[in-house]
A and B are shown apart, each in its own frame.
Chain A
Amino acid sequence: MSTQDLAPALAREEAGDPFVLGGETFRSRLLLGTGGVPSLEALEAAVRASGTQLVTVALRRVEASATGSMMTVLDRAGVRLLPNTAGCRTAREAVRTARLAREAFGTDWVKLEVIGDERTLLPDAVELLDAAEQLVAEGFTVLAYTTDDPVLGRRLADAGCAAVMPLGSPIGSGLGIRNPHNVALLREAVDVPVVLDAGIGTASDAALAMELGCDAVLLASAVTRARDPERMALAMRQAVEGGRLARLAGRIPRRWHAEASTSSEGLPAL
Chain B
Amino acid sequence: MQLTVNGDAAELADDATVADLVAQRAPGHDRVAVARNGDVVPRSSWARTPLAPGDAVEVLAPTAGG
Seen from chain A, the residues whose Cβ lies within 8 Å of a Cβ on chain B are: 33-37, 43, 56-68, 70-71, 84, 86, 96, 99-101, 103-106, 171-172, 198, 220-221
Contacts and interface: CB of A to CB of B under 8 A. Distances in A.
Given A100-B35, A100-B40, A64 B63 contact: yes
Contacts of B34: 100, 103
B61 A65 contact: yes
B63 A60 contact: yes
Interface string B6-38: 110000000000000000011011111111001
Interface residues of B, number: 26
Contact of B32 (A62, A99, A171, A172): A62
Contacts of A172: 66
Given A65-B29, A65-B60, A68-B29, A103 B65 contact: no
A104 B66 contact: no
Interface of B: 6-7, 25-26, 28-35, 38-40, 42-43, 58-66
The 5 closest A-B pairs by CB, nearest first: A58-B65, A33-B66, A220-B66, A35-B66, A65-B61
Nearest to A37: B64
Contact of A62 (B6, B30, B39): B6
A261 B7 CA distance: 68
Contacts of A104: 31-33, 60-62
Contacts of B38: 96
